[in-house]
Every structure is written in structure tokens, then in C-alpha cells.
Structure 1
């Protein structure tokens, strides 16, 4: 029983030593994470622009179909699709200007 306890205790101490070695360079890790997030940010905003374009095209097709079918809620559908498309573009633009990337 004592041997098992000593083994567990030694493993625990070695784990703490290993964790403290990783924790000592916290600033470098945070800086590296910041650099990685900034490198993905431009791609993410371009993806939001692309999604906005696709949403706009799908919305335009749906509104056109409703308009040709003579449905009465065409204006409501058009405003909702147009609003969602504008929202995606505005959010991407604001985030890009806010974070200065």
C-alpha cells in the first residue's frame, strides 16, 4: 500500500513540475494565440461576405418566385432577406474596422 501511495505521489509531483514549466511562458502563448486568431480573421470576414452574397442570391430568387406567384407577403419576405444580407455584411465590416486587422 505504501509503495502505491509513493508512486502516485511521485507521479503527482512530476505532473505539477511539468505544468509549471508550461505555465512560465504564458505571455508567449497568449501572443501566439493572438497572432493565430489575427491570421484567421481576414479569412473569416471574407467568408462572412461570401455567405452574405449567397444569402442575397437565395433571397432574391425566393422573392422573385413569390412576386411571380402573386403572393401578398412579398414585401415582408424581401425585407427580411435583404435585412439578413445587410446584417452579415455590416457585421463583417464593423468587426474588421473594430479590430483593425
Structure 2
């Protein structure tokens, strides 16, 4: 009976040690993924600024066309286009300042 208990304890100790070894590799993987995301973060925020600028230009052209055509919903279209442009820029700025990258 003592031999069986000794074997069970040995198996449990072996399993705990192997789990801790896997956990250390998992931590290293998580740290590596974090570093990779941080390296792409600046590029991603610059991309959001560029998309905001393009949306702003397209919106300005559409609003100008509606204004010249004399349509009555020009103010609503202007606020929606420029609101989306401002939203993209604000989100990029807040994320950049929040994560401190």
C-alpha cells in the first residue's frame, strides 16, 4: 500500500512540475505577443489618422456637392461625415495617450 501511495505522490509531483514548466513558456509567449502588439501600435494609430483624413476629404467633397445642388439636408450630412472623421482621430489619440506608446 505504501508503494502505491509513493507512486501516486511521485506522479503528482511530476505533473505539477511539468505544468509549471508549461506555464513559464506560456508567460514568455504572452510577453512576446505583448511586445509585438506594442511595436505595431504606433503604426496602427498613424493608419487611423490617415483614414480619418481621407474620410474628412471625402466628406468635404460630398457636402460641397450637396451644398451646390441646393439640397436641404446638407447640415445633417456634414455633421455625420465630419463626426465620423473626428471620432477616428479622437479614438486614435485617446488610445495613444492611454497606452502611453
> Would the TM-score normalized by the shorter structure come out above 0.5?
yes
- Give the structure 1 partner of residue 93 of structure 2: 93
Q: What residue in structure 2 maps to residue 14 of structure 1?
A: none
State the match for 1:7 in structure 2: none
Q: What is the TM-score with the length of structure 2 in the denominator?
A: 0.77
Give the CA deviation at 1:65. Answer: 0.1
* Count of equivalent residues: 83
Q: Distance in 1 between matches of 2:83 and 2:90?
A: 10
Give the drift of 1:27.
Answer: 1.4
> In terms of mean alpha carbon deviation, does 53-62 or 26-35 score higher?
26-35
1:27 aligns with 2:27: yes
Matches within 5 A, 1:50-69: 50-69=50-69
2:10 matched residue in structure 1 = none
Runs of 4+, deviation exceeding 3 Å: 20-24
Q: Deviations over 1:4-32 (max 9, x none)?
A: xxxxxxxxxxxxxxxx6755411111110
Deviations 1:41-94 (A, max 9, x none): 000000000000000000000000000000000000000001000000000000
**Greater Rg over alpha carbons, structure:** 2
TM-score (norm 1): 0.77
Mark the runs of 5 or more structure 1 residues left unpaired by the alignment. Answer: 1-19
CA RMSD of aligned residues (A): 1.5
